[in-house]
Amino acid sequence: MAKIRKIAHRIQGRMTSDGAGVRIRRIFGSDVDGMFDPFLLLDHFGSDNPHDYIAGFPWHAHRGLETVTYILDGKVEHGDSLGNKGIIGKGDIQWMTAGSGIIHQEMPKPEDSARMYGFQLWINLPASKKMMNPRYQDIKSSDIPEIQLKSGVSIKVIAGSYESVKGPVSDIIADPTYFDLALPSNTSFSLPLQPDYSAFVYVFEGEGFFDETESNPIKSGELALLKDGSEMKVITHSSHVRFLLVSGKPIAEPIAWGGPIVMNTQEELKLAFKELDEGNFIKTHRGK
């Protein structure tokens, strides 16, 4: 019999700035101390005012983690030290594995519209993979399957699978599920999850109930970290809901976190910044 997951923690997030002054809502980050293992950080950015985001994220380094950028609206131009470059547009995903080290930039391109909305998720890498070769998976919106159920529920399958439908993102160490789900009002929906995996939902439109024992719904801008269980269930009443569902395999290793670099020990962290200062941070070069 399926065990429905309950809510362990509710988080509102807080407004802050990052990069060269981009206004974001940080839902969780280094302050949660491994609570979301293997997930490190979730940012929600969104504005109709280019002054809130136009400064972007100029050249900066990453090591020991993966970053996942999901654009709901707008365009972001990216480039990196390996020669990769391109545009992430509406509905697109960029899954970047920093591994041993990469230097890149992400700069908004407000060409067609002033709107810029989306998310960035950071995922930790285990010690055995922290120095793997960097790579990108750039996924266009047209390659992301969207399931439409008779109940009105829609599911964009970015990573993981729903029944026989598999997401286009592959070969990720955390074995993640990353869905963008929407339910109309007065609807109930459930889906299976790996019972020993961390899982959370982040609502960004409307509201929904993710725990039948609670009287208050999770509203737009709120996150719910879910307890253990083999199934997630959501119920809507008078409002629709749209949310991210994310789950992954915990690493259960020490974390040494220094801004955009995440290692296992302080010694590894110091070495990473030393190499960055001395110009030998990048281990894999163009064409390799």
Average pLDDT, consecutive stretches of 10 residues, N- to C-terminus, the chain (288 residues): 93 82 87 91 85 77 95 89 86 94 85 80 97 92 97 97 95 95 98 97 98 93 97 97 98 94 97 94 66
R_g (Cα) of the chain, nearest Å: 19
Q: Does some domain include residue 236? A: yes
Q: Which domain holds residue 73?
A: 7-269
User: Strand pairing partners for 246?
Assistant: 178, 200
CATH of the domain at 148: 2.60.120.10
Confidence (pTM): 0.94
Q: Does some domain include residue 208? A: yes
| Cβ neighbours for 225, distance < 8 A, ≥ 6 positions apart | 7, 8, 9, 10, 11, 35, 36, 198, 199, 200
Distance, CA of 153 to CA of 97 (rounded, Å) = 31
User: Strand pairing partners for 9?
Assistant: 225
Beta carbons of 202 and 210 less than 8 angstroms apart: no
Distance, CA of 37 to CA of 34 (rounded, Å) = 5
User: Strand pairing partners for 248?
Assistant: 198
- Pairing, β 223-226 against β 7-11: antiparallel
Q: Does some domain include residue 255? A: yes
Q: Does some domain include residue 282? A: no
Distance, CA of 166 to CA of 169 (rounded, Å) = 9
- DSSP one-letter code for 134: P
Distance, CA of 112 to CA of 46 (rounded, Å) = 16
Distance, CA of 87 to CA of 238 (rounded, Å) = 38
Q: What DSSP string describes 192-261?
A: E--TTSEEEEEEEEEEEBS-TT-SSPEETT-EEEE-S-SEEEEE-SSS-EEEEEEEE-------EEETTE
Q: Does some domain include residue 37? A: yes
Q: Does some domain include residue 94? A: yes
Distance, CA of 219 to CA of 54 (rounded, Å) = 28
pLDDT at 111: 66
Q: Domains in the chain: how many in total?
A: 1
